[in-house]
Chain A
């Protein structure tokens, strides 16, 4: 069974640019959530999607957005990048999203210069 796939794995952007990250969940999993991981803050919840609906959102500015497609694949977008957006962005899939375990992808490491 294939795991969670995230693309791209590494990317470098400059301040002011925007970035789109992609996540393909485990087959059959309908919940996809996104987390930002930084050394100082740990894993911070960004948002969760289930059947194309955003069910919850973390405390991040509106520059961070996401969506989920009918095949459960998800994308997140960060606009007007800031230096502080440099982080590892992790996608996790789950069968149901609220009592089920999370299965993480390898992450997309974003560096903002």
Chain B
């Protein structure tokens, strides 16, 4: 079983719609969760971090964490063509391990 799972997509949404990206993880001791965006040919850049259950909002982005279900999601409101990229979910592998496990990413296409 993969430690961090994401649907590879592509997820296609029309401009202005809400894009919903999902991620599940297997290690219950994980404490830190991150979403990165990676444009084609570029390196990942951090969008959101979330550490406790519930929602965290930053502009058009909302991260949601449910530790009981081992589930983290990213909502992008008012999606723009510039949001078209691969979104990587990353999970800290637990206290004292100093490493992050990345999902393989979901490719998002926002259609103008």
- Chain A: residues with CB nearer than 8 A to chain B? 31, 33, 35, 41-45, 48, 50, 55-56, 58, 90, 97-99, 101-107
Number of A-B contacts (CB under 8 A): 57
B residues contacting the other copy or chain, number (CB 8 A): 25
Shortest Cβ-Cβ A-B pairs, 8 listed: A42-B104, A43-B102, A104-B43, A55-B98, A56-B98, A45-B99, A48-B98, A56-B99
Would A99 and B92 count as touching, CB distance under 8 A?
yes
The residues of A that contact B99 with a CB separation of less than 8 Å are 33, 45, 48, 56, 58
A47 → chain B closest CB, angstroms: 8
The residues of B that contact A99 with a CB separation of less than 8 Å are 31-32, 51, 92
* Interface membership of B70, Cβ < 8 A: no
